[in-house]
Structure 1
Amino acid sequence: MTDPATAENRVFDAARLERLRIVLVGAQHPGNIGAAARAMKVMGLHDLVLVAPERYPDPEASARASGADDVLEAARVYDTLDAAIGDCALAIGASARRRSTHWPMVDARTAAMRAIDVAQDQTVALVFGRERSGLENAELDLCQLHLQVPTNPDYRSLNLAAAVQVVAYELRMAAGDAPEAAPAHEPVSTADMEGLFGHWQDVLVASGFLDPEAPGVLMRRVRRLFNRAAPDRTELNILRGALRALDPRRRPLRGAVNADDSSADRG
């Protein structure tokens, strides 16, 4: 058993918790919004973002918050997930239902450790989907990491607020063990990664490699490849520079020697 005195004296890195954002996409029941706010405040999280909630603000949300009214009052509402996480260096999407597309999954503990590491100096979003259907594939595409809470295979249904509570607990525990060393590289924002993916698609279409009418499967694999690699700022700049150089539509560099001309000169 854990020594109560040891647990009580654990030093948490509150600054990292401040850089963690809980994002609820398309929440259908206002009570779950309030219960999620309560779960957050209990674990020291305060940044709540709502994407296109069906009913908010709502008295039931305030009632279920049970003292976490400050979290609700500070909550920001966006129309799209892109706008809600555009400034985040890492977005982690929670997904419970099985899908035809294979998604690389980690458990909540592993995801929390990664989130706390990045939150040393960057904002991290933990994204939760709708009560009935969860996150859509296009929304998971915007997340670099996907987490799943292990549940009873005969009864997988986990309430939205309960899922937030489980993940918030793991985040707080991970913050207690956060390393002091600086991260190995400077993370880039979700918006910057979306710019990279758009650049890839544009150049692949221009080169004739990608069918513009059916980019889905190939571009999803490109996303997964670079999300696994987690490029830093310098690496992202290298990739963007290489794409510009390889773009078949680019103009020749000023002063460049044509291969035919140079061979003629040698003759």
Structure 2
Amino acid sequence: MHKSALPQEGTETFKDQIRIILVETSHSGNIGAVARAMKNMGLGNLWLVNPSSFPDEASYARAAGASDVLDSARVVSSLDEALADCVLVMGTSARGRKVPWPVCAPPEAAAAAASHAEGGPVALVFGRENHGLSNDELQRCHYHIHIPSNPDYSSLNLAMAVQVMCYELRMYYLRSLEGGEGSPYLKSMTKPGDEGWDVPPAKVQDVEGFFGHLEQVLTDVDFHRRENPRQLMTRLRRLFQRARLDQMEINILRGILTAVQKAAGTQNKSKSTEAGTAATKQDNGHV
């Protein structure tokens, strides 16, 4: 697999490759929220062009543990200064232009950023809270990034827009790691047997024992009649097999069934009929 241009997270190189630039941010709390979004995704290179107020208490309060990103943030007086040494510039835009400009969605923008990062800093530029980037500023960008939000309510909070792009960069980075290093972050854990699940999957014989126990209890409490089953056990079997039970869950369910039998006073009776029931099932070939 091709290795990402983004190096290992936690190194200064990784943090410095991608430059997040905020232009004339009016609310300092948004700067802190952006710092938090960046650090969540392993980025730390923040540039601020003419912020209304920074640093201040509001920005550090909203950073929530990402104060190091704010401590190292660069404050400059012009966008030209922030972009001077960059090899690729991409700016977020929600508006169409009279002159069409190259536009890409966040996943493609992340891939382009990673592919250019080996050659130098890559800038992701975010505009003002009230009206974004100006036409002149957008013309400084090689690409415009369009986040496909709800057209009836398309305006994103500044930190939300930054979070979307930082997330896509992180996902691209993890997918591109060699040797499966990124796999633990990307693998789903949805059922017994998946890496990270705490109990092994239930074995077939244990699941079958549970179904036999369940049918016996339902019969004991007069909920199920074997002579007129009406597909009850078939549907219950489908329900529980869909759940992909683990061994602990089987043990818990068997314990519940035993408690029901004790409460109903049918436990001894059930034990005497279990062997006969199992033999009948084998003869009939169905539940």
Q: Same fold (TM over 0.5)?
A: yes
1:85: Cα distance to partner? 1.1
1:161-219 Cα shifts (integer Å, max 9, x gaps)? 00000000001111223488xxxxxxxxxxxxxxxxxxxxxxxxxxxxxxxxxxxxxxx
Asked if 1:89 corresponds to 2:94, the answer is no
AA matched with 2:131: S
SS at match of 2:20: strand
Q: Distance in 2 between matches of 1:17 and 1:82?
A: 21
Q: Deviations over 1:207-234 (max 9, x none)?
A: xxxxxxxxxxxxxxxxxxxxxxxxxxxx
> Following the alignment from structure 2 to structure 1, what is the Cα–Cα distance between the partners of residues 39 and 149?
24
Partner of 1:120: 118
Work out whether residues 92 and 144 of structure 2, in 8 Å CA contact, stay in contact via their aligned partners in 1.
yes
Match of 2:61 in 1: 63
Alignment size in residue pairs: 170
Displacement, 1:96?
A: 1.5
Give CA-to-partner distance per residue, 1:58-97, whole Å, 9 cap, x none: 2100000000000001001111111001101001111123
Cα deviation for residue 152 of structure 1 reads 0.5
1:16 and 1:120 in contact (8 A); partners too: no
Normalised by the length of structure 2, the TM-score is: 0.56
AA in 1 matched with 2:51:
P
Alignment of 1:130-141 (within 5 A): 130-141=128-139
Aligned residue number for residue 271 of structure 2: none
Identity %: 51
Q: CA deviation at 1:16?
A: 4.2
2-side partners of 1:179 and 1:114: how far apart? Answer: 16
Secondary structure (helix, strand or coil) at the match of 1:120 reads helix
Give the Å deviation of 1:17: 4.6
Residue 150 of structure 2 is matched in structure 1 by 152
Question: Residue 171 of structure 1 corresponds to which residue in structure 2?
Answer: 169
Root mean square deviation of aligned Cα: 1.8
How far 1:99 sits from its partner (Å)? 3.7
What's the CA shift for 1:159? 0.3
Q: Is contact 2:88-2:142 (8 Å) kept?
A: yes
Q: Distance in 1 between matches of 2:136 and 2:176?
A: 32
Contact map agreement 1:97 1:134 (CA 8 A) in 2: no
Q: Which amino acid aligns with 2:38?
A: M
Q: Is the 8 A contact 1:93 1:127 kept in 2?
A: yes
Structure 1 segment 175-186 matched on structure 2, within 5 A? 175-178=173-176
The higher-RCO structure (CA 8 Å, 6+ apart) is 1
Q: Which amino acid aligns with 2:35?
A: A
Output one character per residue of 1:12-54: Cα deviation in whole Å (capped at 9) or x when no partner. 7434453101000011111110000000001000000000111
Q: Equivalent residue for 1:24?
A: 22
8 Å Cα contact 1:31-1:61 kept in structure 2:
yes
SS at match of 1:119: helix
Q: Secondary structure at the match of 2:91?
A: strand
- The offset of 1:122, in angstroms, is 1.6
Are 2:86 and 2:122, in contact at CA under 8 Å, matched by a contact in 1?
yes
For the residues of structure 1 that align with 2:35 and 2:140, how far apart are their CA atoms? 23
Instruction: State the alpha-carbon separation in 2 of the partners of residues 81 and 102 from structure 1.
Output: 22
Task: Give unpaired runs (5+ residues) of structure 2.
Answer: 1-5, 179-287
Q: Distance in 1 between matches of 2:148 and 2:132?
A: 16
Q: TM-score, normalised by structure 1?
A: 0.60
Query: SS where residue 23 of structure 1 aligns?
Result: strand
Which SS does the other structure have where 2:48 is aligned? strand
* Counterpart Cα distance in 2 of 1:95 and 1:138: 12
Q: Which residue of 2 aligns with 1:195?
A: none
